[in-house]
Chain A
Amino acid sequence: MAELTFAPGVREQLAAIARVRWQLFVNSLRTLRGRLELVSHIFITLGFAAGGIGGLVASSAGAYYVISSGKAEWLAVILWPIFLFWQLFPVVATAFTENFDTSNLLRFPLSYSSFALIRIIYGSLEPATMLSSLWLLGVAVGVAMASPPLFPWAALALLLFAAVNILLARMIFSWVERWLAQRRTREILGVLFLFFIISFQLIGPLMSRYGRSAHPDLRQFAERILPVQRLLPPGTAASAIASAAQGDYAIAAGTLGILGIYCAAIFWFLHLRLRAQFHGENLSEAPALAETSGERGIVSVGWSLPGIPGSVAAIFEKEIRYLSRSGPMLFTLIMPVFILFIFRLTPSTSHRGSGSFLGGSSDMAFPIGAAYALLILTNMVYNNFGPEGAGVQIYFTAPVPIRSVMLAKNLAHSTILALEMVLVWIGASLIYKPPALATTLATIAGILFALPVNLTVGNLLSISSPKKIDYGTFGRQRASNTTVFASFGVQIVVVGLAAITLMAARSFDRIWLATAVFLVFAAVAWVVYAVVLKGIDHMAFGHREELIAELTRAS
């Protein structure tokens, strides 16, 4: 921490970095692709802005209500969702998250303080921080409208709360990145996750026990966890405002102090990572691998897939090997099960439920998990040349049609989705209850429809709108804005269609109807997939220059 002194010229360095990012943006507009990116970015921003403004109004109204009705402590009910969104969204929705790669900055005479500041500031320029900050602004406005004298306390508490969130999000990212970078720490994380899955079995009985008591509603849930949540940042921030509202200024100041301690502690943990990065930390596995014994001169033969040509099997093998060595990608693949767990812990506002979100419709856990698994997979499917970098050139110099390359990649991604669905099925069974056979079949049929649609659009976008990504670094798997925007549209149509079909079938109590409809959709979708795949070589050769230029350029 002693290194944290600002060197002269810091302002110039920060300004230079801001300027170079601006110039990169302006230069990107020279190409049609760059302009399309901008248009997509504007649409995505508008979408987020709508969420941000809607949330601002809602949080403002909520804060106004709890303060004017003398229940300032209940601000925690608003701050907790903001806190969870702030921390979970970047991890759950990696398509919108991108870490600024600061490793190149280390060659410049940059002080540690500038480096840390840049990491924190640029790392925070992402949707979760923007939206959450807007919502906190809404809380501040609501408090000010309900009780103007309370505003300074609320502003201070919310500022500290925001600082905790910004630092915590950066800290989580940097530590997860560290843990996922090397095999040993990845394995430890894997074991922890296994325990996590097993612990799901305990959640069911616990939830049903509490769910049977007299008031299985939000209020009762909140009251039970009130003492614990008060000690955590959202509760502490709410307590500080509540104490000030009651005129207990000493307690309010003390509680703000606790928030300050949170800030300092989180920053210290973040500082450990930043300092290591600043000193040129190398997370490569090379030394560890060099120590492992391997038989010199013996090369094991490649994989063989029955009925599949050698070149397709080789690409399939390469895809699976790439993924298996990417901690961040493996991490995102467990997210569907994680999200079911989150749903299980989220209290339901419905009185007919068993106390948790989806409680009344637990048979929907598998379809929702499967849909989310597909959504996660779109990160890869919609930019399937992204991780290749300069290696993409081999597909254009080798005597293999691009449609075979695409087919191999699609096969690999479909296999991963199949494994994911098995994992989600097991997760849904442990967390909720085993999905009914009819629901399982309907979900599989739904995926059989959604998969070719996504593969088709993904293949086209992978060629027309590629973006170099790094499988090895957490938070650098974001596709281009055009791809994200197009993916959004496809998901709205596909998931919307599937949800309507499933809901309609459920309302008639004939889930098999949904299965039948999905199978018809699937047949059409696979035909379209085959037609597009047949013509993909022409398109790929038409776009090869931009594709190669984009993926081989220095990042």
Chain B
Amino acid sequence: MNSAAIATQGLTRRFGALTAVEDVDLRVAPGQFFGFLGPNGAGKSTTIKMLTGLLAPTAGRIEILGLDLAANSIEVKRQIGVVPEGMALFGRLTGAEYLNFVGRMYGLDRETSAKRAAELLDFMQLADQPKKLVTDYSHGMQKKLALAAAVIHGPKILFLDEPFEGVDAIASGTLKAMLQSMISRGATIFLTSHVLEIVERLCSHLAIIHRGRLVAQGSLEELRAGVEAQAAAALPSDGGQAAAVAAPGEKLTLEEIFLRTVGGARPADQELSWLS
């Protein structure tokens, strides 16, 4: 597992009788923009929580930058940034106070922390109302602040759980600009998102988790080739009933790859006829 930025082996998490994540072997190379996809309840957030130390695995092993997470949690945490589910903000601080706080939690000295906080607020266009409490920020502003907090110490790996959820186009543009600039400087980004268009545009590599199991992993092209090969193999046996994989000359979109991988068709008899 040595040369990977993130590597897991047999990662499993059970909640009583429910197995949320089962035997997941992930491998993310340094510098990759990695998208981790799956339907609701597939185990994405559980996996990201285990990778960031918020949840203990029931079984398996996690290595971050070649370090075993269980044995070196403090050293690993120093090198990663996290935007967890719920964003981990403190509502009754101002944005600047919060960034200052996080910077110092990650070991920055007071001056560096304050300087970076000011730069980040400016970059994220949050510097206009310096006395506004975080609780009074809009959802998009909170997302930007959470991302700013996750990068204030200059992490080598960034974990983002649904960073684009509920974010408008302007805020989303700011977030994307920051993430791309990090990638260009050699950082690794691991993100989960339901916004497949953004994932398709940003991520070089992907993994799809379904019902707790990893069902696909690779570059977008590798995933596309896999789906097409599967469909082609299925054609002779279904008597020609299956639709063509993609129109001639067109590539499968990530959404199509995703739906074909996890299966997403809704039963046709569900009509909710009482809806006006």
Contact = CB atoms under 8 A, between A and B. Distances in A.
Interface of A: 284-286, 289-290, 292, 294-302, 304, 310-311, 313-315, 317-318, 321-322, 325-326, 387-394, 396-401, 471-472, 541, 544-545, 548, 552
Contacts of A302: 100-101, 104, 110, 113-114
Interface string B58-89: 00000000000000001101101010111111
A471 B92 contact: yes
B86 A286 contact: no
Given A398-B77, A552-B85, A301 B90 contact: no
10 contacts: A286-B133, A286-B136, A290-B131, A296-B130, A310-B110, A311-B107, A390-B89, A394-B105, A397-B52, A544-B55
B84 A297 contact: no
A289 B131 contact: yes
A321 B106 contact: no
A400 B53 CA distance: 12
Contacts of A388: 90
Contacts of A392: 88
Interface stretch (B31-39, B115-123, B169-177, B190-198): B115-123
Interface residues of B, number: 52
B42 interface: no
Given A299-B99, A315-B101, 16 more contacts: A289-B133, A295-B130, A299-B117, A301-B100, A302-B110, A311-B107, A322-B92, A390-B88, A391-B89, A391-B91, A393-B86, A397-B77, A397-B84, A400-B105, A541-B56, A545-B56
A391 B132 CA distance: 18
B113 A391 contact: no
A257 B74 CA distance: 70
A398 B153 CA distance: 11
Given A301-B113, A397-B82, A310 B118 contact: no
A317 B101 contact: yes
Contact of A399 (B89, B106, B117): B106
Contact of A284 (B53, B106, B130, B135): B135
Contacts of A284: 135-136
B87 A544 contact: no
B269 interface: no
Nearest to B85: A552
Contact of B100 (A297, A299, A548): A299
A289 B129 contact: yes
B179 interface: no
A399 B102 CA distance: 11
Interface string B214-256: 0000000000000000000000000000000000000000000
Given A289-B131, A301-B113, A390-B87, A399 B78 contact: yes
A400 B88 CA distance: 15
Given A289-B129, A393-B54, A552 B86 contact: yes
A197 B132 CA distance: 33
A289 B109 CA distance: 28
Nearest to B80: A397
A289 B75 contact: no
Contacts of B106: 398-399
- 6 closest A-B pairs by beta carbon, nearest first, are A390-B86, A286-B136, A294-B130, A314-B104, A393-B88, A399-B77
A391 B121 CA distance: 19
Contacts of A398: 77, 102, 105-106
B128 interface: yes
B118 to A, nearest CB: 4
Contacts of A314: 100-101, 104-105
Contacts of A325: 92, 133
Contact of A311 (B91, B99, B105): B105
A482 B87 CA distance: 28
Query: Of residues B55, B74, B104, B127, which shows the largest number of chain A Cβ atoms within 10 Å of its Cβ?
Result: B104
Query: Of residues A299, A311, A401, which shows the largest number of chain B Cβ atoms within 10 Å of its Cβ?
Result: A299
B271 interface: no
A388 B219 CA distance: 39
Given A302-B113, A399-B74, A321 B107 contact: no
Contact of A472 (B78, B92, B131): B92
Query: Of residues B75, B106, B108, B109, which shows the largest number of chain A Cβ atoms within 10 Å of its Cβ?
Result: B106
A397 B111 CA distance: 23
Contact of A297 (B89, B104, B107, B122): B122
A300 B104 contact: no
B225 to A, nearest CB: 36
B132 A304 contact: no
Nearest to B89: A391
A548 to B, nearest CB: 6
Contacts of B93: 318, 321-322
Nearest to A295: B130
Contact of A391 (B55, B88, B107, B133): B88
B202 to A, nearest CB: 22
Query: Of residues B107, B122, B128, B131, which shows the largest number of chain A Cβ atoms within 10 Å of its Cβ?
Result: B131
